[in-house]
């Protein structure tokens, strides 16, 4: 298998070829000679490196900035040539339209409810389950954990139809069907709170807390719930923040499930709503730009304040494992 090809890092120490080291003296002379040229080279190289990096930064953030101009002008003026970079008649018409003639505000509220509730639910269920897997001994623990872990990367699309059927089936039941159905908040939220990533993360994190704390608390008369709330939760706050950001970012950006589960405008979220602004045949580009810009700005502001946490959260999915 491919894995066998990998070199053990331990053997790396032998990597530099030994035949060159024997000529250390000759090498030193050559180095000294080349010294002046090399320094110049280093400088040019550094400049090129920073130019390249800056180029990629421009590519990364450029598209967002390029939204500003169309967001504040009449869509028709987009089609003039030569292009008009800075709007000659800046207007808030796009935003007026967005707030008066579309349900942008409704979508935004729905998104906050959807992502917020999913995050909260995920944090509660995953931390509790992580605690059970980390601290409690019960028969079948490892098997159950393995089965749950196997579903770590199950795509939404792969279970889209049966999940949809589950939700509509529950929707047909009396009473509970009023709460869980397509075009309900819970119908959106519950299937979005299934990923076991947090269970896994929390288990790892809780396992790192010293055993003595649990034992001391137990002898102090504290039951599992009290240990969980008074000892464990305060000590894993950083992990909770990281997981919370991760889940929130993932949920509010999600598209496929909300697209299918919330067709009623009253329950649409921003991603689905903004995508629906792009008409089948005619699109008002100015409004599309205005809506996108308005949506990105608050996230960016939050991000700039808490960037360390964000980066940690995005890595949590891949590296923390």
Q: 250-309: which residues touch another protein (CB under 8 A)?
A: 252-256, 259-260, 270-271, 274-275, 278, 285, 288-289, 292, 295-296, 299-300, 303-304, 307
Min dist. Cβ of residue 40 to another protein (A): 16
Token pair for 105:
């505000």
Residue 99 neighbours by CB under 8 Å, 6+ apart: 105
CB-based contact 286:75 (threshold 8 Å): yes
Min dist. Cβ of residue 119 to another protein (A): 14
- Residue 107 near another protein by CB under 8 A: no
Calpha distance 291→212 (Å, rounded): 53
Main-chain dihedrals φ then ψ at residue 210, nearest 5 degrees: -65, 140
Enumerate residues 172-201 that contact another protein by CB under 8 A. Answer: 172, 190-191, 193-194, 196, 199
Enumerate residues 31-90 that contact another protein by CB under 8 A. Answer: 46, 49-50, 52-53, 56-57, 59-61, 63-64, 66-67, 70, 78-79, 81-83
CB-based contact 70:78 (threshold 8 Å): yes
Size of the site for another protein (CB under 8 A): 128
Considering only 235, 241, 306, 309, the residue that binds another protein (CB under 8 A) is 235
- Residue 13 near another protein by CB under 8 A: yes
Min dist. Cβ of residue 243 to another protein (A): 13
- From residue 268, how far is each of 111, 129, 177, 259 by CA, in Å? 8, 31, 19, 8
What is the dihedral sign for C-alpha 309, 313, 319, 321? positive
Enumerate residues 109-138 that contact another protein by CB under 8 A. Answer: 121, 124-126, 128-129, 131-132, 136-138
């Amino acid at each position: 298998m491919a894995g066998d090809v990998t070199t053990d890092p331990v053997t790396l120490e032998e990597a530099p070829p030994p035949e060159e080291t024997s000529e250390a003296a000759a090498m030193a002379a050559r180095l000294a000679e080349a010294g002046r040229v090399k320094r110049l080279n280093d400088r040019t190289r550094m400049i090129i490196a920073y130019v390249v990096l800056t180029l990629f930064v421009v590519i990364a953030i450029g598209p967002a900035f390029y939204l500003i101009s169309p967001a504040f002008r009449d869509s028709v003026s987009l089609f003039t040539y030569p292009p008009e970079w800075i709007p000659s008649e800046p207007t808030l018409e796009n935003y007026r339209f967005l707030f008066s003639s579309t349900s942008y505000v409704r979508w935004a509220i729905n998104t906050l409810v959807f992502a917020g509730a999913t995050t909260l639910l995920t944090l509660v269920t995953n931390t509790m389950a992580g605690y059970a897997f980390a601290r409690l001994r019960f028969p079948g623990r490892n098997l159950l954990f393995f089965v749950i872990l196997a579903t770590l990367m199950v795509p939404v699309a792969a279970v889209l139809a049966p999940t949809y059927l589950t939700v509509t089936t529950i929707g047909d039941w009396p009473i509970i069907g009023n709460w869980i159905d397509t075009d309900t908040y819970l119908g959106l939220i519950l299937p979005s709170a299934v990923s076991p990533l947090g269970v896994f993360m929390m288990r790892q994190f809780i396992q790192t807390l010293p055993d003595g704390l649990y034992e001391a608390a137990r002898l102090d008369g504290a039951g599992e719930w009290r240990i969980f709330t008074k000892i464990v939760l305060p000590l894993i706050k950083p992990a909770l923040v990281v997981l919370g950001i991760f889940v929130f970012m993932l949920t509010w950006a999600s598209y496929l499930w909300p697209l299918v589960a919330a067709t009623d405008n009253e329950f649409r979220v921003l991603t689905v709503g903004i995508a629906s602004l792009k008409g089948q045949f005619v699109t008002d580009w100015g409004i599309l730009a205005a809506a996108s810009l308005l949506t990105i700005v608050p996230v960016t502001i939050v991000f700039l304040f808490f960037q360390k946490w964000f980066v940690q959260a995005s890595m949590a999915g891949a590296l923390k494992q």
